[in-house]
Amino acid sequence: MIVSFIIIEYHSINDVEKCINSIDALNLNFEHEIIITSNSQYDNHKQRKLLFDFPGIIWSFNSKNNGFAYGMNRGINKSKGDFVILQNPDTRIISGDFIEMFNFIRKNNVGVLGPKIINNDMVVQDSCRSFLTPVRLLKRLFFRYFFKKQNILYKKFDYKKIQKVDWVIGGFMVIPKSTINQIEGLNEKYFMYVEDMAYCLSAWENNLKVVYYPEILICYEGDRKSAGSSIFSLNNYTKIHIKNYCDFLKNYYNSKFKSINKTDFNHYY
């Protein structure tokens, strides 16, 4: 078995180094590779320096910055793993039995798996969510802008329990290669945001489960740039998020999305 850790990079070398160190610190007892997929468009001199500074690391120096899905797909194309783990550079693996996780994925027809995520203050993050219908989106926006809550947890959801969920965030996703062979990579029409929800929906549509798996623990703060707007002044990240969400609804809501009802996920805040 080979596992491919794929880390997206955009002018974030310091974070990448810490991310790699957190993988190395696990002393993993299975064959694995670490792939850095860079959208930074570094010049040849910088690329050579990075290759020297990070021996044993596979780099994909992408010719343009076409977003998260674009970068991750280039990393996936270079991977040879039976499982791929997609990571943001500011994620840190804390603990967990990866072999047990891979066995769980194989035995339970899991297409996408997300771990338990905490922030630097040890607070559990909302890393698994229900599919965002327009009504649910309005609820999230209401809590975010009027109650200043960016980390919106489901009150009746047990974050200590392994369970099926609608979707998991793309900051850290474990995907068996069989899933990628079946539904290919992330949708590159989304520059950033929404591609993770769309990918999990595609997994469900292909009779593959999406699972929240708290036996693996990750530290990830997340920049939440699209949450930095006020309701009266939207920043560029928020505008991208809204545009992609509208595209998502246009592509999915009227047909496949409305019929998806695969989980017992509690939608109440």
Contacts of range 245-249, beta carbons closer than 8 Å, 24 or more positions apart: 245/132, 245/137, 245/193, 245/194, 247/189, 247/190, 247/194, 248/190, 248/194, 248/197, 248/198, 249/134
Is 265 inside any structural domain?
A: no
Is 77 inside any structural domain?
A: yes
Cα 214 to chain centroid distance, Å, stands at 15
pLDDT digits (tens, 9 = 90+) for 153-196: 878 899 999 999 999 999 999 999 999 999 989 988 877 778 89
Q: Would you give per-residue pLDDT tens digits along the chain (269 residues)?
A: 899 999 999 999 999 999 999 999 999 999 999 999 999 999 999 999 999 999 999 999 999 999 999 999 999 999 999 999 999 999 999 999 999 999 999 999 999 999 999 999 999 998 998 887 666 666 666 556 555 556 668 788 999 999 999 999 999 999 999 999 999 899 888 777 788 988 999 999 899 999 999 999 999 986 544 444 444 445 565 666 666 666 676 666 555 555 455 555 544 33
User: Which residue range(s) make up the domain with 157?
Assistant: 2-259
pLDDT digits (tens, 9 = 90+) for 197-220: 889 999 998 999 999 999 999 999
Is 80 inside any structural domain?
A: yes
CATH number of the domain that residue 182 is part of: 3.90.550.10
Count Cβ atoms within 10 A of the Cβ of residue 138 and give its class: 0-12 exposed, 13-18 middle, 19 or more buried.
exposed
Task: Indicate the number of domains in the chain.
Answer: 1
Is 245 inside any structural domain?
A: yes
Is 231 inside any structural domain?
A: yes
Q: What is the pTM of this model?
A: 0.85
Is 268 inside any structural domain?
A: no
> What gap in Å lies between CA 140 and CA 147, rounded to an integer?
10
State the pairing for strand pair 2-9/92-95.
unpaired
**Pick from 91, 88, 43, 37: which is nearest to 66 by CA?**
37
Residue 168 near residue 113 (C-beta atoms within 8 A): yes
Is 269 inside any structural domain?
A: no
Is 13 inside any structural domain?
A: yes
Number of Cβ atoms within 10 Å of the Cβ of 59: 18
